[in-house]
């Protein structure tokens, strides 16, 4: 997986959570997504992360998100996948609401990647516990 593909896939994964759960993208979610993408971006990558987010929103499709989850499952290390789950948790909480649809999405990704409660830490641990409890 190239670094370009990985960043594109992360954009679709993050937008899938924030936009796909309620059909809207709150400003705080947008900025959280951009901030998280910047952290994954290599210094040599000059692409504008805001354009990546806008592209993911404009081309949002559930199948594209599914493909991203599959590619990232093999394209990221276990440690990197755990970091992405932390990112997803922070994005879910960015608008100060944790929706059932966000919980379902985070559970879906964590199960696809084989990440369970014993592997969770930080915000992801809190979000995962709430999601599993059906909050």
Those residues whose C-beta lies under 8 Å from the C-beta of residue 80, and which sit 6 or more positions away, are none
Phi, psi of 99 (to 5 degrees): -85, 150
CA 45 to CA 43: how far, in whole Å?
5
Sketch the domain layout of the chain as residue ranges: 3-132
CA 23 to CA 11: how far, in whole Å?
16
pLDDT tens across 13-40, in order? 999 998 877 777 888 889 999 999 999 9
CA 13 to CA 113: how far, in whole Å?
13
Architecture (CATH level 2) of domain 3-132:
Orthogonal Bundle (1.10)
pLDDT tens across 34-83, in order? 999 999 998 888 889 999 999 999 999 999 999 999 999 999 999 999 99
Q: Place 120 in a pLDDT band, splitting at 50, 70 and 90.
A: low
- The pTM for the full model equals 0.87
């Amino acid at each position: 997986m190239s670094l370009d593909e990985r960043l594109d896939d992360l954009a679709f994964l993050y937008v899938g959570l924030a936009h796909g759960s309620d059909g809207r993208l709150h400003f705080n979610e947008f900025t959280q997504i951009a901030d998280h993408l910047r952290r994954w971006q290599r210094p040599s990558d000059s692409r504008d992360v805001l354009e990546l987010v806008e592209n993911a929103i404009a081309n949002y499709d559930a199948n594209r998100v599914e493909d991203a989850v599959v590619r990232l499952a093999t394209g990221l290390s276990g440690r990197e996948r755990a970091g992405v789950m932390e990112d997803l948790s922070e994005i879910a909480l960015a608008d100060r609401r944790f929706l059932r649809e966000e919980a379902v999405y985070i559970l879906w990704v964590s199960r696809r990647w084989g990440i369970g409660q014993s592997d969770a830490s930080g915000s992801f641990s809190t979000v995962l516990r709430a999601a599993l409890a059906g909050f």
